[in-house]
Structure 1
Amino acid sequence: MATILVIDDEITTQLVLQDLLESEGHEVLIANDGKQGWDLASQHCPNLIICDWMMPELNGVDLCRRVKAKAKLEATFFILLTAREHLDDRVCGLNAGADDFISKPIETEELLARVRSGLRLNHLNQQLTKSLHDLQAAQVQLVQSEKMSSLGRLVGGVAHEINNPISFIYGNLSHIKNYTGDISRLIQQIRDDENFSREQLLSALEEIDFEFVMADLEKMLGSMKEGSERIREIVIALREFSSQERSGIHQIDLHHALDLALSMLQPRLHNTQGRISVMPIEKNYEELPNIEGDIGLINQALFNVLENAIDAMSEKAQVCKHDESWTPSLSIITRSLDPDWIEVEIVDNGVGIDSHLNGKVFDPFFTTKPVGQGKGLGLAVAYQIIVQQHSGKLSYDSHSNRGTRFFVHLPVRQPLTQSQVQTRNSGIPKSLSEQTQAIPMIR
């Protein structure tokens, strides 16, 4: 189970809490004062601390500040034991970093409920911390291998997407606690009063606005469930997007890969420089065979091309701030060229690519973005993955201020020799074949 540190200078309270918490299967550490509690907390890093407010040498509020200021203890759930009921005292405790309060004399069921809630939040925080560390490790690895210059924005977007439902869930916990507290007190009153009448029950239900409470509880629980499912979807999508456990050649559903890349770019799609709340995306998917390739690399290449299109429209949005006739739009068309080749066309109405840049876009680290907003790796990496590692083609057709069309050609089967790739060119429309040597703009 969990490690819980109890800090109290009263031996009776220590024994009661130790017996109660150990009966729940927790490991309990006991400290007689704040100084001893700090030493034990630093040594054992407990999951939860229950600390008396008033103690000699180091009181509970000062100890709480010290615990929350230490990096390895800041996630520890901290509960203050107090007989103080004034709002100013509670505010003081919250400002010090306390996560919850338990009033003296201690109610057994309330204590256990708050401990369970605190441990759940602590466990969730540990999982999120671990996920963050995993993402940071992945970021270092990808930057070192120069495979995804936009990982920082991806991580930020995913963190934002996860933070929204978590914040909503956390914000509703206090309301649920109040509602369930009112209902629990009513049930306890009925249980303890043998002469409790129907009239009293109806009056009590009206007092707590029972019908509204139950309806609101149902709505909040439904919304919290949706938020939890969204977090789960994000984690699954992120794991599938990386596909580290499936490296090597596999059968790939290209439509699923495109949708997965769009899912990872969802924070960028929701707002393009404040122009519209949701960017319209037109999908025209023809029936395609599965292709052979490295799933993780193909996901990354499609992500980079789509992100480049979004960047181009974001830049155009800044130029067209006062032009209401322009609205960002993104189109994705897939088609089968012949039994051996498929094509993905990605169309944006962004700033386009100047013709004088065609000689420079071949260079990695070339970017038209301001300093600090791009390393010029995104489309260079996509080109390497598609052309060099999957024997495909990546080309574009663009006009300045009129948008860009990217063409991704991939063979259905891998591997193909270079001579076979040249032979396959006959199956590609001439207008596209002539663009084989065009390297996408590195934004």
Structure 2
Amino acid sequence: MHIENTDIEGLMVLHLDVHADNRGWFRESWQRETMTALGLPDFRPVQSNVAFNAKAGTTRGLHAEPWDKLVTVGTGRVQGGWCDLREGSPTHGRTVSVEIARDVAVFVPRGVANGYQSLEDATTYLYLVNDHWSPDAAYVNVSLGLIDWPLEPTEVSEKDRTHPLLLDAPSVPPRRILVTGAEGQVGRALRKVLPEAEFVDRDEFDITDPPERPWRQYSAIINAAAYTAVDAAEEDRAPAWAVNAQGPAKLARIAAENNLTLVQLSTDYVFDGTAGRPYTEDDPVGPLSVYGASKAAGEAAAATAPRHYIVRTSWVVGDGKNFVDTMRDLAERDIQPQVVHDQKGRPTFSGDLARGIVHLLRTRPEYGIYHLTGGGDEVGFDELAMAVYTGLHRDPDMVHPVSSEQYFAGKAHAPRPSRSTLSTDKIEATGFVPQNWRVGLALYVL
């Protein structure tokens, strides 16, 4: 068996192994492990269809349905014909025609209009699809006259005769990306790099009870929704666990059932801070707080989705409430704050984090956990505060370093990891190099 590409991006011709003897022949029309290893997308079919064509010359198409399909024949031969109607495709409008016999199958990606002509009487046309037909789905058709058919088309339905010319046929939009937590720092940053995505906040989309969606018309879910009140979570445990653990579990189930990629945002707080070196993705978690434990549980839940990226980050700075903005406000009012010196890590600017998430979705490295923080040196919160004051032309000595014990004396608070720097070597190996946090800070405070 081997696979060849065609002039339409993603349209693939499979040359199948056929085993014949005096009884007839046998072939594997769909063999997931073998075919995906050869480059066929793991499209997870859910339905098998058969179309019988009594006479040679019977011609059907061209139909672009909102699903992928794998087509072949059971008996006889057909001439397949395709036209790319995908919005934004580099091969939009291009056509391809291939003869399909018992040793040939063709993978047709969603949005590529599909048609065929029977070359023999009593032909059976077989196809697998990865979504069920629905009267509410969007179907796009284009004229079968785009294909130079070997035979004079006969037995053509009236509907197929009236399909529009390519010039008048609408394009098929790509599958969508759903982003939860749209009003958070990461959600707002993702809006800038994924303007075509669908963004939902907690009023529109409760991840603990996800509303119905035509999920197979999506390609990915980015879960940027979270319960982030670290101290309040110590007492407010049920809501923290519902959002940070149960919600990702339900999204992972949706992703698994519908062949979606799930991106789950997580945190350095899943570690206890005792490693004495930057944490890698393979280090065991050991959260100190309810918040950290709930996020670690959310990671475990997200990992049940076959296609998942768990993105751990730290000290996020972006459009919303964050440490740098707090220090900026204090500096501009010439206030001399006390800031802890014994919690160390690296800040991450939300724009850089958003770009890294998009990088994972577009380059599709191995699924799993990735650390994505700002690059550069490890600092304490006091040093970060001093850098903010310096950037605003204030005296950094206005920041007074104190221990966590001193800062939280008499206050109810959750325990924090003392050192939670995350190694970014793994994501850098995929081609994404995080921005040095000092560069990000300089740009942010301008």
* TM value normalised by structure 1: 0.29
Which protein has greater RCO, CA pairs closer than 8 Å, 6+ apart?
A: 2
Higher helix share: 1
Task: Report the structure, 1 or 2, having the larger strand content.
Answer: 2
**TM-score when normalising by structure 2:** 0.29
